[in-house]
Amino acid sequence: MDKLEVTGGVPLAGRVRVSGAKNAALPLMAASILADGPLTLANVPRLGDLRTMGRLLRHMGGQADLHPPGPDGALAEEARLDLRSLTRPEAPHELVKTMRASALVLGPLLARHGQARVSLPGGCAIGVRPIDLHLKALALMGAEFDLTGGDVVGRAPAGGLRGAEIRFETVTVTGTENVMMAAVLARGRTVIANAAREPEVTDTALALQAMGARIAGLDTDELVIDGVDHLSGAAYRVMPDRIEAGTLLAAVALCGGRAVLLDAPCEEIAAARSKFAAAGVKLERAVVGGQEALTVESPGGRELKALDVVTSPHPGFPTDMQAQFMALATVARGVSLITETIFENRFMHVSELRRLGADIDLQGRTAVVKGVDRLRGAPLTASDLRASASLLLAALAAEGRSDLFRVYHLDRGYDRLDEKLNALGARIARVKDA
Ligand code: EPZ
Quick: pLDDT tens for 84-140.
999 999 999 999 888 889 999 999 999 999 999 999 887 777 777 789 999 999 999
The amino acid at 227: G
Atom of ligand 1 nearest to the CA of 135: 40
* Residue located nearest, by CA, to atom 38 of ligand 1: 172
Give the Å distance between the CA of 251 and the centre of ligand 1: 25
- For residues 64 and 52, give the distance between their C-alpha atoms in angstroms, rounded to a whole number: 11
| Contacts (Cβ under 8 Å, ≥6 apart) of 261 | 16, 17, 18, 245, 248, 249, 293, 294, 295, 296
Which residue, 299, 300, 297, 295, is CA-closest to 260? 295
Gap between the Cα atoms of 412 and 419, Å rounded: 15
Cα radius of gyration rounded to whole Å, the chain: 22
Ligand 1: which of 174, 312, 347 to mutate, judged by most atoms within 8 Å of the beta carbon?
Answer: 174
Concerning whether 124 is annotated as a catalytic residue, the answer is yes
Say how far apart CA 308 and CA 326 lie, in whole Å.
Answer: 10
For the chain, count helices (H), then strands (E): 14, 24
For position 269, what pLDDT does the model report?
94
What residue ranges of the chain have pLDDT lower than 50?
Answer: none
CA count, 13 A, side-chain hemisphere, 269? 33
Q: What is the pLDDT of residue 434?
A: 62
- Model confidence pLDDT, tens digit, residues 385-426: 999 999 999 999 999 999 999 999 999 999 999 999 999 999
User: Residue 151: which of 135, 138, 162 has the closest Cα?
Assistant: 135
How confident is the model at residue 71, as a pLDDT?
85
Closest residue by Cα to atom 1, ligand 1, is: 173
Q: What is the residue with the minimal CA distance to atom 28 of ligand 1?
A: 320
Ligand 1 mean position to 395 CA, how many Å? 27
pLDDT at 289: 87
Q: Is the pTM of this model over 0.85?
A: yes
What H or E segment, with its residue span, contains residue 329?
Answer: helix 322-329
Single out the residue of 403, 412, 394, 398 nearest to residue 430, CA to CA. Answer: 403
Please, are residues 8 and 429 in contact by the beta-carbon 8 Å criterion? no
Gap from CA of 168 to ligand 1 centroid (Å): 13
Which atom of ligand 1 approaches the CA of 26 most closely?
Answer: 15
Annotated catalytic residue within 13, 76, 120, 124: 124
- Please tell me the predicted confidence (pLDDT) of residue 400: 97
- Smallest CA-to-CA distance from 30 within 154, 200, 157, 153 is with 200
CB-hemisphere CA count at 13 Å for 250? 32
| DSSP β-bridge partners for residue 336 | 369
Which of 105, 6, 98, 5 has its CA nearest to residue 51? Answer: 98
Ligand 1 environment, Cβ below 6 A: 23, 26, 101, 127-134, 170, 172-175, 319-320, 342-343, 385-386, 413
